[in-house]
């Protein structure tokens, strides 16, 4: 049986053979030579996930004063069964991610098909040809016990292997720019030593030509302004030495909209890495705080969201108060506090822990259980109860399911032996919960539903009329609003039609 990689749409792509890899290496040399003749620098983006693939397109889209591309970009994705499909898909000019941002398909078509200065490959050989490597390898935190983030740790094995491969391939004058969110201390204590070790094995004098390493974190939001959140937003950066810092500044100045969003340079990569993890920890703890108050509001008949709106009118100090919801998902808020806590104890070998950060993660990780408790206030016994979950991504109008709180919701509802069906207009496959089929047609999950959970605020769900929902259901289901997705008028209409409605933080509707 052929080695194949299956895309989310079901299409299968053969993973290259060694003979095909040899031809690909020749093609990479040819392309790179042609691009250098055009005066372009060569960039490789390591990892074509939700950040890496769009970052690669943004780099390729950068132009000089004459309107000519500054860089040619080789996007690299390992030839694994899970991910190789991204290479042939990107090379047709199609993004490997689903998004509500119309600029995503535009920028891929522009750079791949029209400008022809962005191409994907699975061949490691490419790293020996480039001037800059942007590292966007996925790095996660492992939390071995549910609701006990204090036991979490960072497994750096795959990340170390990726960096080691760079050390074996890159030229000594190549800048390694780490964009992956990493534990504080990673560039100085992990990346630089590995590169030094591999350079030394290759006979490179690391005193004369030390590895060039920098860190700069993006603040990507894969929604309606996906591309803009990378290109048109403030960036923090730092290098391990002066030359690394200057090369990083030059690269970011060329690629990003620094006129409107100036760069912020910090004193060290430790500081830049800490800034990213602290920034996301602040948001995670902010959300955890609102859940505590949501429970209070529910018990005393108060709409927390109206209270929140009133508080947010105090600009400059309180307008960033976040909201409670089904839970916290995505790649950053769920793991960054854990990475920082682990780094404190392991990389820096310091006593103590980031106690408030970890408690915030624990509250957020267990937040979906509160939605189940709301359901049980109406239907105490969930065995064989048909529950339709609307939305399995972690954010409205995107197809990203990483650490989606809907996963926790589905798993715990199944433990109560409920019959759970899931729908999402943006998700074709759910790799984190492969045994749960995600329907694309809402009429496949609503008929006969006894509970309808508005888990994610996709526009499609917000536009559903109550009568339409009941007509499809053929029942008068319990309606659960997980984060103020339904207006008071919409809720009143559901109640008029005979439905019971519950909502996170919505004590006023009971």
Q: 175 forms bridges with which residues in the sheet?
A: 132, 212
Q: What confidence score (pLDDT) does residue 1 get?
A: 44
Burial 108-128 (b: 16+ CB within 10 A, else e): bbbbbeeeebbbbbbbbbbbb
DSSP-based helix, strand, coil % in the chain, nearest 5: 40, 15, 45
User: Alpha carbon 96 to chain centroid distance?
Assistant: 14
Q: Cα separation of 101 and 185, whole Å?
A: 34
Q: What confidence score (pLDDT) does residue 269 get?
A: 98
Instruction: Please give the backbone phi and psi of residue 479, each rounded to the nearest 5 degrees, phi first.
Output: -105, 125
- DSSP code per residue over 173-191: T-EEEE-S---TTHIIIII
Q: What confidence score (pLDDT) does residue 69 get?
A: 97
User: Which stretch of DSSP H or E encloses residue 216?
Assistant: strand 212-217
Residues 6+ apart with CB under 8 A from 381: none
Q: What residue ranges do the domains of the chain occupy?
A: 4-269, 297-327+367-509
Overall CATH class of domain 4-269? alpha beta
In tens digits, what is the pLDDT along the chain, a chain of 510 residues? 468 999 988 899 999 999 999 999 999 999 999 999 999 999 999 999 989 999 999 999 999 999 999 999 999 999 999 999 999 999 999 999 888 899 999 999 999 999 999 999 999 999 999 999 999 998 889 999 999 999 999 999 999 999 999 999 999 999 999 999 999 999 999 999 999 999 999 999 999 999 999 999 999 888 889 999 999 999 999 999 999 999 999 999 999 999 999 999 999 999 999 999 999 999 999 999 999 999 999 999 999 999 999 999 999 999 999 999 999 988 788 999 999 999 999 999 999 999 999 999 999 999 999 999 999 999 999 999 999 999 999 989 888 898 999 999 999 999 999 999 999 999 988 988 988 899 999 999 999 999 999 999 999 999 999 999 999 999 999 999 999 999 999 999 999 999 999 999 999 997
Q: How far is CA 203 from CA 167, 194, 197, 206, in A?
A: 12, 14, 10, 9
* CATH topology assigned to domain 297-327+367-509: Rossmann fold (3.40.50)
- DSSP code per residue over 319-382: TT-----S---SSSTTTHHHHHHHHHHTTS--SS--HHHHHHHHHHHTTHHHHHHHHHTT-S--
- Cα-Cα-Cα-Cα dihedral sign, residues 29, 31, 36, 42: negative
Q: Cα separation of 339 and 422, whole Å?
A: 31
C-alpha closest to that of 377 among 508, 506, 500:
500
Q: Cα separation of 50 and 32, whole Å?
A: 25
Helices and strands (H and E) in the chain: how many: 18, 18
Q: Cα separation of 330 and 138, whole Å?
A: 12
Rg (CA), the chain: 24
> Does the fold of domain 297-327+367-509 match that of domain 4-269?
yes
C-alpha closest to that of 143 among 332, 361, 289:
361
The two structure tokens encoding residue 13 = 């792509």
Q: 439 forms bridges with which residues in the sheet?
A: 423
């Amino acid at each position: 049986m052929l080695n194949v990689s299956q895309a989310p749409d079901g299409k299968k792509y053969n993973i290259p053979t060694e003979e095909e890899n040899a031809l690909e290496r020749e093609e990479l040399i040819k392309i790179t030579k042609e691009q250098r003749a055009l005066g372009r620098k060569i960039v490789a983006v390591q990892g074509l996930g939700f950040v890496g693939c769009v970052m690669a397109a943004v780099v390729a889209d950068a132009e000089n004063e004459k309107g000519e591309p500054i860089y040619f970009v080789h996007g690299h994705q390992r030839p694994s069964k899970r991910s190789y499909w991204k290479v042939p898909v990107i090379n047709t000019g199609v993004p490997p991610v689903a998004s509500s941002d119309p600029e995503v398909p535009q920028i891929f078509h522009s750079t791949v098909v029209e400008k022809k200065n962005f191409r994907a490959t699975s061949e490691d050989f490419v790293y020996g040809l480039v001037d800059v490597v942007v590292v966007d390898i996925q790095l996660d935190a492992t939390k071995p016990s549910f609701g006990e983030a204090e036991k979490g740790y960072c497994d750096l094995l795959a990340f170390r292997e990726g960096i080691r491969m760079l050390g074996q391939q890159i030229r000594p004058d190549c800048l390694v720019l780490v964009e992956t969110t990493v534990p504080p201390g990673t560039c100085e204590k992990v990346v630089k030593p590995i590169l030094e070790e591999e350079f030394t094995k290759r006979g490179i004098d690391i005193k004369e030509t030390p590895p060039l390493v920098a860190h700069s974190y993006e603040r990507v939001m894969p929604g309606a302004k996906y591309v803009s959140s990378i290109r048109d937003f403030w960036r923090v950066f730092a290098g391990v030495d002066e030359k690394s810092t200057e090369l990083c500044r030059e690269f970011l100045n060329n690629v990003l909209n620094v006129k409107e969003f100036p760069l912020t340079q910090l004193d060290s990569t430790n500081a830049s890495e800490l800034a990213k993890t602290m920034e996301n920890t602040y948001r995670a703890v902010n959300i955890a705080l609102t859940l505590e108050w949501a429970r209070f509001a529910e018990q005393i008949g108060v709409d927390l969201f109206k209270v929140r709106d009133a508080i947010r009118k105090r600009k400059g100090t309180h307008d960033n108060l976040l909201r409670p919801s089904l839970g916290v998902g995505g790649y950053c808020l769920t793991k960054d506090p854990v990475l920082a806590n682990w780094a404190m104890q392991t990389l820096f070998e310091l006593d103590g822990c980031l106690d408030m950060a970890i408690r915030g993660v624990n509250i957020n990780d267990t937040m979906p259980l509160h939605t189940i408790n709301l359901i049980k206030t109406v239907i105490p016994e969930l065995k064989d109860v048909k529950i339709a979950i609307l939305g399995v991504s972690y954010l409205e109008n995107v197809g990203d399911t990483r650490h989606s709180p809907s996963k926790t919701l589905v798993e715990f509802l199944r433990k109560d032996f409920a019959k759970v069906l899931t729908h999402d207009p943006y998700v074709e496959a759910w790799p984190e919960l492969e045994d749960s089929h995600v329907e694309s047609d809402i009429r496949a999950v609503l008929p006969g539903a006894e509970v309808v959970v508005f888990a994610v605020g996709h526009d499609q769900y917000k536009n559903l009329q109550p009568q339409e929902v009941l007509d499809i259901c053929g029942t008068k289901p319990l309606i659960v609003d997980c984060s103020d997705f339904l207006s008071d008028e919409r809720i009143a209409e559901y109640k008029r039609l005979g439905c019971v409605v519950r909502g996170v933080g919505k004590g006023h509707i009971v």
